[in-house]
């Protein structure tokens, strides 16, 4: 049975997506949208002590001490299905907050670190409970215009953040609530609390590869080298034209390290990929640390 806070969170989302500034298409255009309801599977995290429904298999890793907690490594479960990203993060406290005012302070501090970590603007937030645990619901906007929706949840002395990043104009309310409503944490036992691992500095440095997604407009704006593809002779002679969209992964140094075709005539793929790999961009940073960037470039092949 869903707890009462689901209604509150759904209301927050309805209020957000009823704005005239955003549309609600019946399906997402790619990635997670292509995962049918039957493809959503329960993911079980033994270490994280939670279950959640996801439309794919996530990766796991760490963020260093100081990212969200000044004393603990943050564990990360991450699933990227462009244009949607799913994120579950958690860290442990030395001791649970002893008073409601301390809980609020903890959630405030966690929110501030999350906002800073993702260089986002907080749009609104709401305090509630989920399964009788204190919760902070947050909506933010990333620098590239994407929407960051988050639940920060205190379960005994473990703090979870359950988040989803979506394009501002390509979001489905049911898609988001399916993910959030499926999250089920299990509190740490007394023995588990006593045996919480302490991490050395070398373990602390095992950070999760951090990526942010930019729109094509932003990629064009931060590009410092642009290369247009040469029109292949045979496709041109055959009258083949059109647009080829290439998804690129950009390194912390601004170099294209991966390029793959999203759409377009097959005969033009090679030329578009070759051009995309030569682009260069201004490096991006979050909290003074370099981050990888994902985005799509469009190359037009036109017959004259």
CATH number at residue 130: 3.40.1000.10
What is the number of structural domains in the chain? 2
Condensed to tens digits (0 to 9), the pLDDT of residues 253-276 reads 999 999 999 999 999 999 999 999
Condensed to tens digits (0 to 9), the pLDDT of residues 19-48 reads 322 223 333 334 444 444 558 899 999 889
Distance of CA 104 to the CA centre of its chain: 25
Q: Which structural domain range is residue 180 located in?
A: 5-208
Q: What sign has the CA pseudo-torsion 220, 221, 223, 227?
A: positive
Query: How is residue 92 annotated by DSSP?
Result: E
Are 191 and 110 in the same domain? Answer: yes
Average pLDDT rounded to a whole number, residues 284-290: 69
Are 129 and 153 in the same domain? Answer: yes
CB crowding 167-185: b at 16 or more within 10 Å, else e:
bbebbbeebbbebbbebeb
Q: Band of the pLDDT at 277, cuts 50, 70, 90?
A: very high
Q: Band of the pLDDT at 290, cuts 50, 70, 90?
A: confident
Are 218 and 196 in the same domain? Answer: no
Are 54 and 152 in the same domain? Answer: yes
Task: Give the H/E segment covering residue 108.
Answer: helix 100-117
Q: Band of the pLDDT at 127, cuts 50, 70, 90?
A: very high
Condensed to tens digits (0 to 9), the pLDDT of residues 145-181 reads 889 999 999 998 899 999 999 887 555 567 788 899 9
Q: Is the distance from CB of 210 to CB of 291 less than 8 angstroms?
A: yes
Mean pLDDT of the chain: 80
Over its C-alpha atoms, the chain yields an Rg (Å, rounded) of 21
Condensed to tens digits (0 to 9), the pLDDT of residues 197-217 reads 544 344 444 444 467 778 788
How confident is the model at residue 196, as a pLDDT? 64
* Range among 94-108, 113-127, 215-229, 264-278 with highest mean pLDDT value: 264-278
Are 81 and 133 in the same domain? Answer: yes
From residue 245, alpha-carbon distances to 112, 125, 291, 301 in Å are: 36, 36, 23, 11
DSSP per residue, 240-301: --EEEEEEEEE-TTSBEEEEEEEES-GGGHHHHHHHHTT-EE--EEETTEEEEEEEEEEEEE
Are 139 and 16 in the same domain? Answer: yes
Q: Is the distance from CB of 297 to CB of 246 less than 8 angstroms?
A: yes
How confident is the model at residue 9, as a pLDDT? 39
Read off the tokens for 248: 């690129």
Condensed to tens digits (0 to 9), the pLDDT of residues 217-246 reads 888 888 999 999 999 999 999 999 999 999
């Amino acid at each position: 049975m869903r707890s009462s806070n689901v209604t509150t969170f759904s209301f927050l989302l309805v209020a957000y997506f009823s704005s005239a500034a955003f549309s609600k298409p019946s399906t997402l255009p790619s990635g997670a949208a292509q995962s049918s309801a039957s493809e959503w599977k329960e993911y079980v995290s033994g270490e994280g002590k939670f279950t959640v429904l996801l439309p794919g298999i996530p990766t796991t890793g760490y963020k260093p001490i100081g990212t969200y907690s000044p004393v603990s490594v943050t564990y990360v479960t991450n699933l990227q299905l462009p244009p949607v990203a799913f994120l579950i993060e958690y860290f442990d406290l030395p001791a649970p907050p002893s008073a409601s005012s301390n809980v609020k302070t903890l959630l405030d501090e966690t929110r501030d670190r999350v906002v800073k970590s993702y260089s986002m603007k907080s749009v609104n937030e709401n305090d509630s409970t989920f399964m009788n645990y204190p919760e902070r619901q947050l909506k933010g906007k990333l620098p590239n215009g994407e929407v960051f929706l988050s639940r920060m949840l205190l379960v005994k002395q473990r703090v979870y953040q359950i988040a989803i990043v979506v394009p501002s104009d390509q979001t489905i309310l049911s898609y988001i609530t399916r993910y959030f409503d499926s999250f089920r944490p299990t509190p740490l036992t007394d023995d588990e609390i006593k045996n919480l691992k302490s991490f050395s500095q070398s373990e602390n440095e095992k950070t999760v590869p951090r990526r942010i997604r930019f729109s094509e407009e932003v990629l064009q704006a931060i590009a410092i080298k642009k290369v247009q593809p040469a029109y292949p002779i045979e496709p041109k002679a055959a009258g083949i034209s059109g647009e080829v969209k290439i998804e690129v992964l950009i390194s912390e140094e601004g170099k294209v390290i991966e390029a793959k075709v999203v759409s377009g005539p097959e005969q033009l793929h090679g030329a578009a990929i070759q051009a995309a790999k030569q682009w260069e961009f201004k490096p991006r940073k979050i909290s003074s640390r370099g981050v990888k960037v994902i985005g799509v470039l469009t190359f037009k092949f036109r017959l004259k």
